Each structure stands twice: as C-alpha cells, then as structure tokens.
Structure 1
Amino acid sequence: MTASAESARPRRTQKERREATVTKLVDATVAAIGEVGYQRTTVQEICGRAGLSVGAMFRQFDSRLDLIVRTAEVIVTRQTAAFTVVMEQLGAQENPLDTALRFLQAAQSDNVTHALREIYLAARSDDELRARIAPTVESYYDGVVAAVERTGVLSRYPQRLREPLFFMALHVFSGQAVVRGVYQRPELDEAVLELVGDMLRTYADAIDQ
C-alpha cells in the first residue's frame, strides 16, 4: 500500500480501536478455552493468541474474570444468531425435525460450543462466575426455546412437553460431543441421531392416537 493510499484511509476512532481490541481478546479467549480448556486459558495465553500485551488487555478489562464473562456473552450472541438463521429456514426443509436435530448435534461439537461448555463447568465451582453469567445463560435458552417454538417443529407435542423435549435432545448431543473427544465412533453418533429422531416421531404418533 502506498503512503498516499494509507493517508487517504480514514483513521479509526478511539472507540473503534477499543472495540477491535476487545474483539481480538474475545476471539482469542474462545479459541484458547475451546482448545486448551478453561484452567489453562491464562491471561498470557489469551494475549499471546490475540497478539496483544497483557497491559493492553487490562486497559479493557479489570480482570480475567471480566473477560471470561464478556466472552460468554459474545458466544451466546453468536450462537443465538446462528441458531435463529437455521430455525427460520426449517419451513423450507423436506424433513424439518431431522434438519433441526442434525444442526443441534453438529453445533455441540463446534469449538465455540466447547468453549461455552468449559465456562459452564468452571461455573459449577466458581460462585462469582456462575452468578455473573447466569442472566446471560437464562436469556440465551429462553431465546432458543422461543425460536424453536416459532418454527412449529415440535407442534405435534403438547406445550408442556416442548421445552423438555428440546433440552433432552440438547443434553444427549452435548454429552455425545464430550465423550467424542476420547471415544470416536462416527457410526454410533449417526445411530444416536437416528434413534432420537425415531423416538420423537414415535412419541408424536402415540400422542396423535
């Protein structure tokens, strides 16, 4: 790039620079937690991945915990957006239930989901972390359940059963993703997916009778 082109490019505002730094830190935190786990995601690990100094991080966040909380918020926002897009397209699918289940299963193996799961596990024994992310997590699942409801993919089931059915599938696939890290059986994953779908359809048929 020439000097004239460089000078012609608008300079970023302080707010834009700050937002860019925060994004780098959050992205680095997501990658680190997903790859090396919550405990090994130190400030040094995060800053090294972000290409920033430790001082640069502490100019944006008072503590590692503050960055973790922000990271959880960003993950939830991104997950909600991706989930909503898929849910909005279900009506055009030949088999909406199968499409929804396949997306839910695949999403549990995404590195971003692994990072959020690691944060959940850490929150079990960290009262402050648990208290600070709880409102975000509650809002997240409320929004996801509402998105599922709008699709009508579970409309064959009574209202009182729809949320439990969603979480049943979510928990099955989440546990599957954890075990897959040490026990890889792709054919078993596919069999579980088909079984969950068959069980849901059989249950719906029984309710209709």
Structure 2
Amino acid sequence: MTAPTPRPRRTQEQRRAATVAALVDATIAAIGELGYQRATVQEICGRAGLSVGAMFRQFDSRLDLIVRTADEVFARQLAAFQALMEHLGAQADSLDSALRFLREAQSSNITHALREIYLAARSDAELRARIEPTVTSYYAAMVEGVEQTGVLSQFPRTLRESVFFLLLHLFSGEAIVRPVYARPDLDASILTLIEDMLRTYAESLPAGE
C-alpha cells in the first residue's frame, strides 16, 4: 500500500495570513450581527477559534483589527460592485438591475458591519481618520464604475454622482428600518416608484443639460 504523500507544511507567512483572514471574517460576522460595541475581542476570537493572545500577536489593538476589517469590507464590496458593472451592458434594463443590486447589497451582513463601523467612526476621531482615505477611494471607484457603465447616462454628468448617492443613502436607510418594520409587500412597488421617478425626472430635463 502506497503511503500518503505528506502535505507540505505551511510557511509562517501562510499561517499568519490564515489567522488574519479568520479574525477578519469573525469580525465582520460579529459586528454585522451584534453591533460594533458588542463585537469584543473575546467574541471575535471565539468565533475565529483563536485565543486572545493569537489576535494580539497579529494586531496591536482592537482598533487595528477593526481598520483591517474595514479595508477588507471595502475590497469585497467594491469587487462585487465592479463585477456587476461589467455585466450591466448585457442587461435589457441596466437601471433595474443596478437598483436591485444596490438594494440587496445594503441589506447584507457585510454592509451592516460597515454601517456599524461608520456609526462608531462618527464619534471616534481616530477610527474616522484611519478609515477616511480608504472610504474616499472606495466611493470614487464606485462613482467611476457607474460613469463607465453608463447606467445613469440619461442624467447629465453634473447630476450623476448626486443621483448615485441619493439611491445609495435611500437603500441604506431602508436596510436599517427593515429589521424592525418589515414590509415585503411594498418592496416591488417601491422599486417601481423609484425607477419611474428617475425616468420621469430625466425626461423632464432640458436637452443638452
């Protein structure tokens, strides 16, 4: 009987990367489910299956872990958004597809985690300062993706960024209210209303605006 080939041992860097990934995934889950304050180091480490000491060998503080987690959330969200943008050109109704994606993304656990980090950053100057550069580049990339796709091409360039953020904030607010006041019976009609309002407004603009 042939002896099984031994699996190659992971390098120290590979082990470190695996530990960091486990901590980041656990942080996203904990913050998204429990909120920023209740996502303690003990809670995060328990979910990751790691000791508190293992966490502090990778990060000097909980804040450092939160910042690294925010970076990962931005990267994942942007990757999903860019993948959608690449496929919108093949859609018969790209605006409808974009709105549905934006709404669904705002209700995901990873977005809830990001929203919790934003709320914490509102009163935590150090957290706010450390994530601000990534936040800026994240939204700039999203706006650029919308521009390249042409999903809002019916609006003049001077308005497209405002329309994008209007929709983003609308669905973000909806995602906050939904857990305590769910009205799935209104979901379809609200989406139709938003689309109709956008199209009507675009058609009302003077040609060449």
TM-score range, shorter-chain basis? over 0.9
Which residue is 1:116 aligned to? 114
CA deviation digits over 1:39-76, x for unaligned, max 9?
00000000000000000000000000000000000000
CA distance in 1: counterparts of 2:167 and 2:128, whole angstroms: 24
1:190 shift after superposition:
2.4
Residue 197, structure 1, aligned to residue 195, structure 2? yes
- One-letter code aligned to 2:153: S
Q: Which moved more, 1:28-37 or 1:180-189?
A: 180-189
- Kept in 2: contact 1:75–1:116 (CA 8 A): yes
Q: 2:14 aligns with which of 7, 13, 16?
A: 16
CA distance in 2: counterparts of 1:190 and 1:126, whole angstroms: 38
Residue 128, structure 1, aligned to residue 126, structure 2? yes
3-state SS, counterpart of residue 52 of structure 1: coil
Q: Which moved more, 1:183-192 or 1:80-89?
A: 183-192
CA RMSD, Structure 1 to Structure 2 (Å): 1.2
% identical equivalent positions: 68
1:205 shift after superposition:
1.1
Residue 188, structure 1, aligned to residue 202, structure 2? no
CA deviation digits over 1:81-118, x for unaligned, max 9?
00000111001001000000000000000000000000
3-state SS, counterpart of residue 200 of structure 1: helix
Which residue is 2:24 aligned to? 26
CA deviation digits over 1:145-178, x for unaligned, max 9?
1011110011111111000000000000000000
CA distance in 2: counterparts of 1:103 and 1:73, whole angstroms: 21
- One-letter code aligned to 2:88: L
Runs of at least 5 residues in structure 1 that lack an aligned partner in the other structure: none
- 1:1-80 alignment, distance < 5 Å: 4-5=3-4, 8-80=6-78
Q: How many residues align?
A: 206
Q: 1:62 to 1:4 in 2, by over 3 A?
A: farther
Q: After TM superposition, which residue ranges in structure 1, 4 or more long, deviate above 3 angstroms? A: none
1:208 shift after superposition:
5.4
Runs of at least 5 residues in structure 2 that lack an aligned partner in the other structure: none
Q: Which moved more, 1:25-34 or 1:180-189?
A: 180-189
* TM-score with structure 1 setting the length: 0.96
